[in-house]
């Protein structure tokens, strides 16, 4: 099975590369790209596109000069200031116009030159729908629109896909996890939580994006005057710099932004919710009660924020079958990179400190081949036999492909935690093996003090003001701590590929009514370097339900099942598999103060004495999706 799938993947990539020979944009400056774009396109600048309630969204439209006949359109919607485009957006705009597309950049409602009140994700089911309708009615449009973008420009596409607009012919969501509310076991609510634990990136990101007191152009300023003003007055307020490394320690966490003197905004409203609050379904987030109506080419990555929800949503889009053609045409590409760094994949690629070898993938070429298939009716551009899933296996450092996620060849294998009650730190007696516990094992205990949390080192993250650098980094600096339990296998006699969802099942107890349990999967190299592969977390009160949390009784043993880690890693010959367990991962995740109260509004914590059990009747283990080839 392996060889034909890889041949198919290579064939598809080469076909797309031949059809779209993109220039080396690394040699272009943003000014150079904009100059060339101006030469080959006709532009409408700061046009107010009308929505159903009369609000206008500021929109720039580039169309090929001298184009005859209706054009397919690529739409890039953003909360950022991209009226003067640069970077990734500019490169896509130039490539689009070169290949006979109209390219549109539109500001979300309430951002920069767009009118109205800002709401995170930009009203995808109203403003997004109305934008598609407007484009399809233009005399220069062929009635087919493809949506494109990374991060914020991908997230709004998800709820729009559920609407199945007749003009929405294809979509390319890249790193779209923050657009997902609930999907399968994941209740992350747009990256706000992992396992009910707030992710600090959201508050930091909202400080830069949310602007309740924003300046606006006069409502009656239209046409050429708006375009003129847009050349020199961007309405791009620059907020005072914040030392997030220091400020993130301040409590209560709910005052993260208001304590800076900011007016009440989005973060202040959302922090009052829990992960199971029904209010999450009233905004622009996609959840798995919705259908799916659009063929999609997904770009995800192992060291991004929410790779688990991304792959769970990919599976949902394939199976929901509310639109049979759409479900049958879902494709995913998963790289080893951090958030939105797909175009940086190179011949000698490093993620964090770890070498990934040749990780190149024809990202831009595949995107335009996919759009050619669905927007230009060119089925050979992106062949129907293109593998549905193409993914980079770290450790082996190669691209692979399959017809499904996880791959068909996956077999679930359990590795159990063992010790004589002293798994504390790298120097403890914790082991990890395929054998289940048979008796006589003592639980491992440690003390979690929220005033002295375990430091985050790498893993999946983004957009956090420099609090965490995403990627593969050595975990030994924290494995020496006594409040980190470390379980390590014997050296592997043969390589072992783990590809799919990695589940952990823990039996725990605590002296506190509520606390957190963090789990980490680590690849220990032959020289001892402990590379982080993935991590997850669960707030104990949500162990059975995100809708009806329940506190713990002191000393009682409970079963915890954190949401899965998601990866593709080959543990090499001589490598060891390691699992770390502790109760904090800070500053990536907000600290649990262990009181059992309204954690985000409290200032004073308490120490928790926590334990992980691994007896025959309370085994703790990880379940690995092992691929036998």
Q: Is the peptide bond before 224 cis (omega within 30 degrees of 0)?
A: no
Spell out the residues 6+ positions from residue 63 whose beta carbon is closer than 8 angstroms to its own.
41, 42, 43, 71, 97, 102, 140
DSSP 110-175: TSTT--S---TT--IIIIIHHHHHHHHHSTTEEEEEEEEEETHHHHHHHHHHTT--TTEEEEEEES
Note the pLDDT of residue 441: 92
Strand partners, 193: 198
Of the pLDDT bands very low, low, confident and very high (cuts 50, 70, 90), residue 225 is confident
pLDDT tens digits, 150-162: 999 999 999 999 9
Answer whether residue 69 shows pLDDT above 60: yes
Answer whether residue 12 shows pLDDT above 60: no
CA dihedral (546, 547, 548, 553) in degrees, to 10, reads 10
Q: At 200, give phi and psi (nearest 5°).
A: -70, -20
The token duo for 437 is 């516990």
Of the pLDDT bands very low, low, confident and very high (cuts 50, 70, 90), residue 545 is very high
Other C-beta atoms closer than 10 Å to the C-beta of 42 total 15
Note the pLDDT of residue 305: 94
Phi-psi region at 67: left, alpha or beta (left = phi > 0; alpha = psi -120 to 50)? beta
Q: Which CATH class is domain 2-187+276-402?
A: alpha beta
Q: Nearest-CA neighbor of 206 among 167, 262, 250?
A: 262
The shares of helix, strand and coil residues in the chain, as percent rounded to the nearest 5, are 25, 30, 45
Note the pLDDT of residue 20: 54
Answer whether residue 11 shows pLDDT above 90: no
Answer whether residue 10 shows pLDDT above 50: no
Q: Nearest-CA neighbor of 460 among 365, 578, 348, 341?
A: 341
58 Cα distance to chain centroid: 27
Of the pLDDT bands very low, low, confident and very high (cuts 50, 70, 90), residue 219 is confident
Global pTM? 0.94
Instruction: Indicate the average pLDDT of the chain.
Output: 94
Note the pLDDT of residue 465: 94
DSSP 300-315: EEEESTTHHHHHHHHH
Note the pLDDT of residue 27: 61
SS3 of residue 591 by DSSP: coil
pLDDT tens digits, 96-141: 999 999 999 999 999 999 999 999 888 989 999 999 999 999 999 9
Of the pLDDT bands very low, low, confident and very high (cuts 50, 70, 90), residue 6 is very low
525-529 mean pLDDT: 98
Of the pLDDT bands very low, low, confident and very high (cuts 50, 70, 90), residue 233 is confident
SS3 of residue 198 by DSSP: strand
Of the pLDDT bands very low, low, confident and very high (cuts 50, 70, 90), residue 93 is very high
21-30 mean pLDDT: 65
182-195 mean pLDDT: 97
Note the pLDDT of residue 23: 56
Note the pLDDT of residue 186: 98
pLDDT cut 90: percent of the chain above it = 88
Of the pLDDT bands very low, low, confident and very high (cuts 50, 70, 90), residue 18 is very low
Note the pLDDT of residue 232: 83
Answer whether residue 327 shows pLDDT above 50: yes
Answer whether residue 15 shows pLDDT above 60: no
Of the pLDDT bands very low, low, confident and very high (cuts 50, 70, 90), residue 17 is very low
Note the pLDDT of residue 235: 85
Of the pLDDT bands very low, low, confident and very high (cuts 50, 70, 90), residue 80 is very high
pLDDT tens digits, 451-464: 999 999 999 999 99
Distance from C-alpha of 338 to C-alpha of 469, rounded to nearest angstrom? 9
Distance from C-alpha of 474 to C-alpha of 301, rounded to nearest angstrom? 19
Note the pLDDT of residue 226: 83
Strand partners, 44: 61
- Angle in degrees, 0-180, between the axes of helices 87-98 and 363-375, rounded to the nearest 10: 50
pLDDT tens digits, 280-291: 999 899 999 999
Of the pLDDT bands very low, low, confident and very high (cuts 50, 70, 90), residue 24 is low
pLDDT tens digits, 572-583: 999 999 999 999
Q: Which CATH class is domain 410-627?
A: mainly beta
Domain boundaries, the chain: 2-187+276-402, 410-627
Strand partners, 391: 334, 400
Answer whether residue 2 shows pLDDT above 70: no
């Amino acid at each position: 099975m392996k060889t034909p799938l890889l041949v198919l993947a290579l064939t598809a990539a080469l076909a797309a590369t031949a059809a779209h020979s993109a220039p080396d944009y690394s040699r272009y400056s943003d000014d150079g790209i904009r100059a060339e774009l101006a030469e080959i396109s006709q532009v409408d600048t700061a046009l107010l596109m009308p929505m159903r309630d009369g609000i206008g969204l500021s929109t720039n439209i580039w169309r090929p000069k001298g184009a005859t006949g209706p054009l397919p359109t690529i739409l890039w919607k953003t909360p950022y200031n991209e009226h003067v485009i640069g970077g990734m957006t500019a490169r896509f705009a130039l490539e689009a116009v070169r290949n006979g597309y109209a390219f549109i950049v539109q500001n979300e409602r309430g951002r920069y030159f767009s009118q109205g009140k800002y709401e995170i994700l930009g009203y995808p089911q109203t403003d997004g729908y109305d934008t598609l309708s407007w484009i399809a009615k233009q005399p220069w449009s062929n009635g087919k629109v493809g949506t494109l973008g990374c991060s914020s420009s991908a997230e709004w596409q998800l709820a729009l896909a559920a609407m199945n607009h007749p003009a929405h012919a294809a979509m390319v969501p890249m790193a779209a996890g923050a657009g997902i509310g609930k999907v399968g076991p994941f209740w992350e609510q747009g990256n706000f939580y992992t396992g009910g634990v707030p992710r600090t990136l959201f508050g930091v990101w909202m400080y830069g994006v949310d602007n309740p007191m924003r300046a606006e152009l006069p409502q009656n300023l239209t046409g050429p005057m708006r375009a003129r003003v847009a050349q020199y007055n961007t309405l791009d307020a620059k907020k005072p710099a914040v030392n997030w490394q220091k400020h993130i320690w301040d409590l209560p966490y709910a005052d993260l932004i208001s304590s800076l003197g900011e007016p009440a905004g989005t973060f202040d409203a959302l922090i009052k919710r829990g992960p199971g609050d029904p209010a999450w379904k009233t905004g622009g987030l996609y959840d798995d009660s919705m259908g799916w109506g659009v063929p999609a080419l997904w770009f995800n990555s192992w060291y991004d924020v929410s790779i688990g929800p991304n792959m769970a949503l990919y599976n949902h889009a394939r199976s929901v079958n509310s639109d049979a053609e759409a479900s049958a045409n879902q494709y995913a590409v998963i790289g080893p990179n951090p958030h939105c760094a797909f175009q940086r994949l190179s011949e000698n690629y490093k993620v964090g400190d770890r070498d990934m070898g040749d990780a190149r993938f024809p990202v831009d070429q595949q995107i335009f081949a996919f759009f050619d298939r669905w927007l230009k009716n060119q089925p050979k551009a992106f062949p129907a036999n293109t593998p549905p899933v193409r993914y980079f296996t770290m450790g082996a450092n190669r691209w692979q492909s399959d017809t499904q996620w996880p791959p068909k060849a996956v077999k679930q294998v359990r590795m159990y935690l063992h010790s004589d009650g002293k798994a504390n730190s790298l120097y403890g007696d914790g082991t990890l093996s395929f054998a289940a516990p048979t008796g006589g094992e003592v639980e491992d205990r440690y003390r979690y003090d929220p005033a002295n949390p375990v430091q985050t080192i790498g893993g999946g993250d983004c957009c956090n003001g420099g609090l965490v650098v995403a990627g593969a980094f050595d975990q030994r600096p924290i494995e020496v701590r006594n409040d980190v339990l470390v379980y390590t296998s014997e050296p592997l006699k043969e390589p072992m590929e783990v590809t799919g969802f990695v589940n952990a099942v823990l039996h725990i107890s605590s002296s506190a009514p509520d606390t957190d349990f963090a789990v980490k999967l680590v690849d220990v190299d032959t020289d001892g370097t402990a590379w982080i592969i993935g991590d997850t977390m669960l707030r104990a009160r949500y162990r059975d339900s995100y809708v009806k949390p329940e506190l713990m009784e002191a000393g009682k043993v409970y079963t915890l099942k954190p949401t899965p880690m998601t990866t593709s890693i080959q543990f090499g010959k001589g490598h060891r598999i390691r699992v770390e367990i502790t109760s904090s991962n800070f500053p990536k995740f907000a600290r649990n103060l262990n009181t059992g109260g309204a954690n985000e509004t409290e200032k004073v914590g308490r120490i928790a004495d926590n334990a992980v059990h691994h007896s025959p009747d309370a085994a703790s283990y990880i379940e690995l999706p092992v691929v036998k080839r």
